[in-house]
Structures are given as C-alpha cells and as structure tokens.
Chain A
Amino acid sequence: MNYMPGTASLIEDIDKKHLVLLRDGRTLIGFLRSIDQFANLVLHQTVERIHVGKKYGDIPRGIFVVRGENVVLLGEIDLEKESDTPLQQVSIEEILEEQRVQQQTRLEAEKLKVQTLKDRGLSIPRADTLDEY
C-alpha cells in the first residue's frame, strides 16, 4: 500500500467521521470536509465531546475550521462500531457539571502541591507555561 507525503495522505480521509484532539485538550468529532497542506481542517456537523471518568457528553458545535498546528491527533471513527462503547452518555448539563467538579478538584490538588513544595523551599514552573499536551 502506498501513501502520499505530508497532509496529502489526509485526502483519503475526507468525508469520513473523525475524532480530532486539539492542543488545548478539547475533543471534536465531526466529518472532515476539507484539508490543506498545513493540515488545517474543516469539520462539519461537529460535536465537542467531553469525557469525565466513564461518562461523556456531546455539545453540538457546528462547523469548525481548525488551524493545523492545533491538531494533536486525528483519527477516523468507524461508524459501525461507534455506539459500541463502555462509556455512558449523559446530558450536556450533567457533563458540564462533572467537568467543573473535576477541574475544581484538579485545581485544588495542584494548589496543594504548589503549597507543599513552597513549604519545602522548592518551586515548580508556573502551570500556564507548560503545554499540557
């Protein structure tokens, strides 16, 4: 099997359903409609999926134009196996609440860590200077 160089290999994936993980940690699911040499993507009928633990929720978003540099990974979704998942879908409100709680706990843990390190005279780089992905 042959493949084409660079983003041209994405051309074979056009008009298929894709999951795109962005650099800020968001997950988008939609139909890939157009690409270019920078791997800029046009996603159609996109939902933003939020995973918290075993639950997930979809927020309908519409059309996305994703700048290529923000794409961490992208993969095709097998439409036949799409519903075959151990995860449980919940409503948007619920997942947003779950996410908020999760972020809250994470933030507190982080604060605690920083505080403990500070007490011991250590410092860690500010969180926002680190690229999470």
Chain B
Amino acid sequence: MKCLEGLHLQQRPSKFSVSLAPEEGLVCAFQLEEEKENEDECVCSDQAPEVKEEGCGLGDPAIVSAFQNTQVPQQRGLHSSHRVKVSGALGMSSASLHFMWQSVFPRASSPAHHFGPQQPSPDPFLFYSPLTPWPPKLSLPSHLTQLHPQHQQILQQQQRWRRRRSPTARSVPAQKPWSREPAASDAYANLMTRKEKDWVIRVQMVQLQSENPRLDDYYYQKYYQKLEKRQADKELLGQKTRAESLKLVTPYIQKPEVYESVVRIEGSLGQVAVSTCFSPRRAIDAVSHGTQEQDTGAASSQRLRVLSQIEKMFLQLLKIEEGQNDGLPQLYHTREQSSQVEKLFQALKTQEQNNLEEAADNLLQVLSVRKGKVLVARLLPFLPPDQAVSLLLYITYHLPLLIQRDMADQGLHMLFKPLGKYISHLTFHQLLHAMQGLMLLSPGSSERPVSVVLQNQFGISLLYALLSHGEQLVSLDPSLRSSSDCATWTDLVILIAWEIAQLPAASLAEPLAFPRNLLPCSAITWTSN
C-alpha cells in the first residue's frame, strides 16, 4: 500500500523534532564527517556494516585518489557496471556526491578542495537542506502534529477494511514506500536519507496546514466531500470493487500563533528583526482604526447607523450559518450557536425597547432596508419558536407600514416562507390580537389598514395564512367556539371578507400560497355579496 498511514504520520513528529533540534548534529549529505555517524542509523540494513568500515577510511588520501581515478572514465560513460560496484563498496552517498560536484563544477577541480572531509565546501544545497537553521520556536510540538480529523477518520476506516479483507497478510501496517529495500545491484540507492525525505515531506505538509480548511481550501474540501459521497453511494449499492481514489494527505499542525517581529536578546542594545516563512517581516505595521463608532447626531447618520448595524449583524449571521453547515456534528455547535443567535436577536430588539417613543424603531428600520429583510429571513430558521413568533407578531402588527416602505424594492415576500413555518406556533389569542391591529381604523383616514395589506402580495399571503391557521384552531378546539374570542374571530373574518369585497378584484394581489381550508377569493366575494 503506497500511502502514508495514519500510524506513520503520528510517528513522524518525533522524528521531526529530532531533525530540527539545533543542538543535534544535523545531517547533510554533503558533509562527510557527519555522514559517517549518520549512515549508521540511516542507511538500510544490508549496507550498513560495509559502510561503517569503509567510511572510516575516507579520510585516507590513498582512497581519495583512488576515487579520483575511477571517476575519469565515469564521466565518459556511466553505464559500466563494475564501477558501480567499486564505489558502491564505499557507501553510496559520499562517492556519488563527489562525482556530482566534479561534473557540476568541472573547473574547480582541485582534489583537495573536493575531497578533504574537513574542508568546508561552498554548498548551495545548504540553503534548503535540513541544515538550514530553523528558529527553535518553530520546531512544532509533536503532539500538535496530527492528521486533519476527517482524513484520520478515513485512513482508519481504510485500515479496518483492509484488515477485514485480508486478516493475516496485513497485521503490520504498510511500510512507507520509500523505505523499501532497494535492488541489490543499485549501490547508489538511498542517497537521500530518511531524515531528508521526511524533511521534504514535512515542508510540503506545513504549507498545506490550515486552521479553517473550509475557508482556505474551499474547493478541495467540497470536491472531497463529493468524492466521499459518491463512494458511499456506491457502497450502498453493493459494489464491492471500490476503485480507491487518490487522496491528498494533509496534516493538521498548529501554526506558531504569535507573531514576533522583534526578538529581544538579553544584554543586546538593538532589536533584531526576524522573518521566517511563517511570519514574514511586516513591511507596514498598519492597524485599522477607521471602523470605530461614529457619533450619531444628525438624522442622516441615523440611516447610516442602521445600515452599519445591519452589516455587522449580517456578518454574525454568516458566522452562524457557517457553523451550521461545516459538516461537523450538531452537538458541538448547538450551545455556542444558540447563544450567538440569542445575541443577534437581542441586537435586533434592543433599540426598540430603549426609545419606544420614536416612531420608527430599530427593527422597523432594519426591515425597511432590503438587506435587513434578507437578514431577518435568514435568521428566522435559527430562532427558537417563541422568539420567531414574537417577530412574526411584530411584522404582522406593522404590516401596513412595512408594505409602504417596501414599495421600492419589493423584498418582503422573501420573509413569507420562513415566517410561514412559525404561523402554526401562534396561539389563538396571539393571532386575534395581531389581526385586530390590522382592522383598527386609524384616526385620519377612512381606510382600514387591511386594505393596504390586501393589495400587496406578501401582505395578502400572510393574511391568508393567518386566517387559515385561525380557522384550523377554531375547528380543532371545540372549547374555543363558546368563548368570546370566537365571536371576535367571526367578526374579524366577516370584516376582512367585507374589505375584500369592497376592493375591486383586479387590485387584489395574487397570494404566494393559497391555504386549502379557505375558499378561493372569488367565492368569498360572491358569498358576501
């Protein structure tokens, strides 16, 4: 199995922390001294003893010159197999790498320069070899290096499947593909040590880590979800032969969270600026101060205030929605989410209670902006029923005003669906109260507010839905029929029917949905006539 098993990944961190620790004699394939120690642990087992013996003789000038001699024909033709064996006896990396330097820089051909183990060679590889000194604070704590939870889960699942399929063959986890024993003839194999390979893997992994994969890596996450879903569907259909799709192994490593642009060194006079790939040097240390609350004095800024408030609440709402569908189990979120929703609901409400005397209170203002309507419509599904019902009552009560303000952007109807779900939560009394508000004659006009409602699509839809709910309550609960509420209800219905009859049929709006227990409006007009 050519894959990074979960087990391996969990082992890996300890190795990394070793290779990153600055005190440790770090491995560089191009430094002979260290290689001697290093090969003991890193070269695969069948070569190790050989390497040890010969490696110690590397300092010997005789051997060095022997090397040099073997190398001349090497450059002419590299296919002669005996030469492979000759240098192979020396352990692969030292020999082959010196070839390399010869052929790469043929002019700087002083043997002493190339072969003296003590000579520090100008080594461009150092720039990206494991020797590059990493700031110690970046050596990640091993316990933080782990798979992305989702991947971990999948890998474990895969392991289980494999075990189930072949219970005897795979008792040990699969080997890392690169740790396979090389062919015996290839004496140059394993030029890259395990540590170096792990280092490269790690560097690549670190780039991919993300605290919020849905945000940073949206398309891959979506694609992956789709892939998983398709596989799950296939399995449901009973297709045993799962084509295993490629999977990207991403780790979850916590980022070094603090950004320190300046390190203070004990006893030093100046400050040293550090920059790493994780925390690049900040060219501009700008912090935005502009978003502070502006003073709200003038009437024009009142509207601006409402707009900015909607904007803020919308961001909150987006966060709530994001928490809702990030695919994790609901349990983790419910508490946090409900507190967030509560906060948002209070934010909608608060202003209203503070200055009741103002004709246009906060919620009304929010609802007269298109984005505010969207906000309320999207927030409604998250609200607990009692809060949603209070919103519904509020909207019903202020329906004529809202309709007047909605003339421009015609956005109210998007509230109908989310509101409609909560109509069934209304008690008879609440319903009656809300409806009566619509029937009151306002002092200055001869028109009842309900006539405005009837001429608006959202208004008439909501009204019909409310009437339908009322009728349902009356028919289901016999105790209501004898109460005085029932008489009021009947009066109300008759009054509305009369209002409908008063209006010309053409000016009635087409309702978004027509409740089944109401007669079509033509029938109503006919009966009332």
Instruction: Spell out A's residues near B (CB within 8 Å).
Output: 1-8, 11-12, 14-15, 31, 33-38, 40, 42, 44-47, 60-63, 65
Contact = CB atoms under 8 A, between A and B. Distances in A.
B4 A15 contact: no
Contacts of A40: 128
A34 B246 contact: no
Interface in B55-112: 74-79, 96, 99-100, 103-104
B103 to A, nearest CB: 4
A65 B200 contact: no
Contact of B4 (A4, A35, A46, A62): A4
B203 interface: yes
Nearest to B71: A62
A45 B78 CA distance: 5
B197 interface: yes
Interface residues of B, number: 43
A63 B246 contact: no
Given A34-B29, A60-B77, A62-B103, 18 more contacts: A1-B3, A1-B245, A1-B247, A2-B247, A2-B248, A2-B249, A4-B204, A4-B205, A6-B207, A11-B200, A12-B178, A15-B186, A34-B191, A46-B78, A60-B79, A62-B74, A63-B99, A65-B104
Contacts of B246: 1-3
Contact of B100 (A14, A37, A38, A65): A65
A5 B208 contact: yes
Interface string B8-32: 0000000000000000000001000
Contacts of A7: 200, 204
A42 B79 contact: no
Name, among A3, A40, A63, the residue most crowded by chain B CB atoms within 10 Å (CB to CB): A63
B506 to A, nearest CB: 66
B434 interface: no
Contact of B204 (A2, A37, A62, A65): A37
A2 B100 contact: no
B115 interface: no
B164 interface: no
13 contacts: A1-B245, A1-B246, A3-B248, A3-B249, A4-B4, A4-B204, A5-B249, A6-B208, A15-B190, A33-B191, A33-B192, A36-B128, A36-B200
Contact of B128 (A37, A45, A65): A37
Given A2-B4, A11-B200, A31 B188 contact: yes
Contact of B248 (A5, A38, A45): A5
B78 A6 contact: no
A5 B78 CA distance: 33
B306 interface: no
B284 interface: no
A130 B516 CA distance: 71
B200 to A, nearest CB: 6
B247 A8 contact: no
Contacts of A47: 78
A66 to B, nearest CB: 11
A14 B176 CA distance: 13
Nearest to B177: A12
A42 B248 contact: no
Contacts of B512: none
Contacts of B205: 4-5, 8
Contacts of B3: 1-2
Interface in B346-404: none
B294 to A, nearest CB: 46
Nearest to A10: B200
Contact of A63 (B103, B186, B250): B103
B203 A37 contact: yes
B201 interface: yes
Interface in B151-190: 155, 177-178, 182, 186, 188-190
B2 A12 contact: yes
A6 to B, nearest CB: 4
B249 A60 contact: no
B477 interface: no
Interface string B202-241: 0111011000000000000000000000000000000000
Name, among B188, B190, B204, the residue most crowded by chain A CB atoms within 10 Å (CB to CB): B204
Contacts of B103: 62-63
A65 to B, nearest CB: 6
B197 A62 contact: no
Contacts of B46: none
Contacts of A42: 100, 191
Given A46-B78, A62-B75, A6 B96 contact: no
Given A5-B205, A11-B178, A60-B77, A37 B200 contact: yes
Contacts of B248: 2-5
Contact of B249 (A4, A12, A45, A61): A4
Nearest to B76: A60
B257 interface: no
A37 B196 CA distance: 11
Contacts of A38: 128
A70 B12 CA distance: 31
A15 B248 CA distance: 23
B326 interface: no
B216 to A, nearest CB: 14
A14 B200 CA distance: 13
A11 B182 contact: no
B123 interface: no
Contacts of A46: 78
B285 interface: no
Contacts of A33: 96, 188, 191-192
Contacts of B155: 2
B244 interface: yes
